[in-house]
Structure 1
Amino acid sequence: MKQPALTFYGGKFMALVPVAIYTFFCLLLFVFYRAFNMEALAVGGFLALLIGGIFARSYRQFWEAATRGISSLPSVSVIMILLMVGMFSALIKLCGLSNGFVWLATALGVHGGLFVAFTFLATCVVSTATGSSIGTMFIAFPIFYAAGGQLGANEMMLAGSIVSGAIFGDNLAPISDTTIASASTQQFQNGQPADIGGVVRSRFKYSAVAASVTLVIYIMLGGVGGHFQGGKLAQAASPAPLIMLLPVAVMLMVAVKTRNIYAGLLVGLGLGTVTGLAFGLFKSSAIFANHAAENKITGFLVTGLNDILPTVALVIAVFGIMGVLTEAGVLDDLAQQVLRHPLGKTARGTELIAMLGTSLVTIIFGGVTSAAILTAGPIVNKIGQAHQLHPYRRANLLDGTANSLPALVPFLSVFIFIGAALTKLSPVTVALGTIYGIVLFGVYLVAVVTGWGRRLEAPQEVESRN
């Protein structure tokens, strides 16, 4: 039996109060406090629900709607995958893959623009391996940025290359929270979320074109104004961590080929653990260890789970808000308004609207791409289904737009804020150097205008979920 519609004092659009409160928290954190804290964002989401429910005619029905949103198939899929991704990400971080790339750069004798391009490629690999853009930035900046100063790299381009590489993995990695969110919010006609392996496979061409253009620009401009100082790098640099590229590659291949992210994570985690132990990158106690005297369990399995919990909390809060908007009829109304607009009459126009809407939400949310995708995703799903746009195409537009130009607005972007904080450069300087995000937006805009990569879902097409 269909649940009664959720109603609000003042009309259904009062259901947007939780969105307004969450947006306020984003602005408070990023603009006024200049801080990024996933736990605080999650707190903002839950407070938005607690306060927003006051405007509902039935507080009980409000929370039932929020609970149904949290317990929906897309929400549960995202949460389950994120919890397992956390463990694999912690394994890769433990092995110090970035240090291996610094050793490789010095061994090859690259400097200037070549080092900036190398840093971009290396950071792409690290972010794809860990699935964490923010984590990659905190790993890469202390290593690559410090090294680049001695190797004649342009500061603006070097900082931007690290942010660019972090965004690349966030956009493409099958274990990235944005990839998981963009796929899970787009449904096939049978109601199943888009499988992550298929999404990544279809997304690769856009990322590859943008990365290629970015690479050329970094080679040409990355050394302008830099001064080569002989390349005395950190003594910690070692080739040993590069062996971890093997389990990363196997994990990616299994996830894409089988279209099952769980299979990829199982193989990657198992092979990665064996490889790390065999090459002495960590001891068995780093996997799982009990400290009885301190009543404490340690190891990368536990650390990985703990590190991802704030993101899981944010996902729960956002899906709760989405549940309220759905049952209040707000999402349906917004979708119908889009489809009634002249642009919404065609597939191309609908895709342009999807890019514009995702851009606005991403800017409002301060570049927190996962939250932006979870918010814009249900609407893009509805308007895309009306034109039979394939779930892969919709997921790619969502993720590609959120992880591009809208996420690079100075003073409003978490990516730019972190880059500026770690380099002492101005936010404008870091943003201008983040070439990949700028180029990626252009690639998707061209794809929408020309129809490149546009795919329609066949009326009887049935896909198995990851």
Structure 2
Amino acid sequence: MQEAADPAGLIMLAPFALVLILALRGQHLLTSLTWGILLAIPVMLIAGTGSLPQIIAFDAEADGVMTGALVRGVEGYVNMGILILLIVGAAHLMTLGGTMEHVTRLLMRWIKQSMRRAEVAIWGIVALLNSAITINTAAEIAAAPFVRALGTRYRIHRYRRANMLDAVTSALGYIFPWGAPVLLGWSTIQSMQGTYDWLPSVSPTAVFPFVFQGWFLVAIMLLAAVTSWGLTFEDEDGNELKERPAS
């Protein structure tokens, strides 16, 4: 491991830090990621951690086909983009057909005026969809309309809704052995063993019980839903309130 490691690679944390800083300052996610990519290219070239052909190049032997990390990155998310478009389209059809409204009404019959039940229902919907859909981004997009409908109906603050949606997704998406992030990590290690034979091969099922961060996070969000810990509301103008406003 020491022979294969290069401390110079740590400098590539700088573009990542820039993305986080811009995002936390309110910049759009696409804007933050774009600036991170633009900074990563000169940093990589100056630090010597990569060359320009590794980033983007033309393969003359393959009729001028473009290759490189940028091209592979785009290619790797084409299928994800198509899947997300299909999920968004299906959700829109469910909305037009009244399925969303019907499911929301059924949940509200059980919830009634209980804020704890409302948040437990949100937690349950997000957890269920993340258990069924192997890609956490797709599961989050599928659950979002239900979270928004219930959150709007009970005046739960949008930051609270977003935290419940994203935290449960980030937890369960990296726990289940059939989840895409876990399988991606496993397949990446398998492909790298040809270059680094010292890498251990760990099966997704062996990782399942030891994803402590994921288990703790999903448990904390369930505790927050059951106890209303940190619950805030919003009025018609989106202002944060400690008490639920009158409907």
TM-score (ref. length: structure 2): 0.81
Q: Tell me: CA distance 1:371–1:337, structure 2 relative to 1, closer, same or farther (3 Å).
A: same
Residue in structure 1 matched with residue 197 of structure 2 by the alignment: none
Alignment of 1:435 onto 2:212? yes
SS of 2:66's partner is strand
Deviation at 1:310, TM superposition (A): 1.1
Q: Tell me: CA distance 1:322–1:251, structure 2 relative to 1, closer, same or farther (3 Å).
A: same
In 1, distance between residues paired with 2:209 and 2:26?
39
Q: Which of the residues 132, 140, 163 maps onto 1:364?
A: 132
CA shift digits 1:122-156 (9 cap, x unpaired): xxxxxxxxxxxxxxxxxxxxxxxxxxxxxxxxxxx
Residue in structure 1 matched with residue 156 of structure 2 by the alignment: 389
Q: Which amino acid aligns with 2:221?
A: Y
Q: Which of the residues 85, 99, 115 maps onto 1:330?
A: 99
Q: Tell me: CA distance 1:267–1:437, structure 2 relative to 1, closer, same or farther (3 Å).
A: same
In 2, distance between residues paired with 1:405 and 1:313?
23
Q: Which amino acid aligns with 1:441?
A: V
Show the 5 A alignment for 1:59-138: none
Show the 5 A alignment for 1:419-458: 423-425=201-203, 427=205, 429-458=206-235
Deviation at 1:436, TM superposition (A): 1.0
Show the 5 A alignment for 1:261-410: 261-295=29-63, 296-341=65-110, 343-365=111-133, 367-405=134-172, 408-409=175-176
Q: Tell me: CA distance 1:413–1:234, structure 2 relative to 1, closer, same or farther (3 Å).
A: same
Q: Which amino acid aligns with 1:380?
A: V
In 2, distance between residues paired with 1:344 and 1:406?
30
SS of 1:345's partner is coil
Q: Tell me: CA distance 1:267–1:418, structure 2 relative to 1, closer, same or farther (3 Å).
A: closer
**Is 1:360–1:406's contact at 8 Å kept on the other side of the alignment?**
no
**Is 2:135–2:173's contact at 8 Å kept on the other side of the alignment?**
no
Q: Tell me: CA distance 1:388–1:364, structure 2 relative to 1, closer, same or farther (3 Å).
A: same
CA shift digits 1:375-404 (9 cap, x unpaired): 221111101100111222112211222332
CA shift digits 1:9-54 (9 cap, x unpaired): xxxxxxxxxxxxxxxxxxxxxxxxxxxxxxxxxxxxxxxxxxxxxx
**Is 1:420–1:430's contact at 8 Å kept on the other side of the alignment?**
no
Deviation at 1:239, TM superposition (A): 0.1
Q: Which amino acid aligns with 1:265?
A: L
SS of 2:25's partner is helix
Deviation at 1:442, TM superposition (A): 1.4
SS of 1:235's partner is coil
In 2, distance between residues paired with 1:263 and 1:407?
26
Deviation at 1:279, TM superposition (A): 0.5
* Percent of aligned positions that are identical: 27
Deviation at 1:242, TM superposition (A): 0.1
In 1, distance between residues paired with 2:94 and 2:173?
24
**Is 1:291–1:297's contact at 8 Å kept on the other side of the alignment?**
yes
SS of 2:116's partner is helix
In 1, distance between residues paired with 2:62 and 2:181?
37
Runs of 5+ unmatched residues, structure 2: 191-200, 240-247
CA shift digits 1:315-337 (9 cap, x unpaired): 01111211211111000111111
Deviation at 1:312, TM superposition (A): 0.3
Q: Which has the higher contact order (CA 8 A, sep 6+)?
A: 1
Q: Tell me: CA distance 1:272–1:415, structure 2 relative to 1, closer, same or farther (3 Å).
A: closer
Q: Which amino acid aligns with 2:71?
A: V
**Is 1:363–1:407's contact at 8 Å kept on the other side of the alignment?**
no
**Is 1:358–1:402's contact at 8 Å kept on the other side of the alignment?**
yes
Structure 1 vs Structure 2 CA RMSD? 2.3
SS of 1:403's partner is helix
Of Structure 1 and Structure 2, the greater helix share is in 1
Q: Tell me: CA distance 1:248–1:416, structure 2 relative to 1, closer, same or farther (3 Å).
A: closer
Q: Tell me: CA distance 1:418–1:299, structure 2 relative to 1, closer, same or farther (3 Å).
A: closer
In 2, distance between residues paired with 1:450 and 1:350?
12
Q: Which amino acid aligns with 1:372?
A: A
**Is 2:183–2:204's contact at 8 Å kept on the other side of the alignment?**
no
**Is 2:130–2:172's contact at 8 Å kept on the other side of the alignment?**
no
In 2, distance between residues paired with 1:450 and 1:276?
48
**Is 2:15–2:39's contact at 8 Å kept on the other side of the alignment?**
yes
Deviation at 1:425, TM superposition (A): 4.3
In 2, distance between residues paired with 1:276 and 1:400?
32
Runs of 5+ unmatched residues, structure 1: 1-232
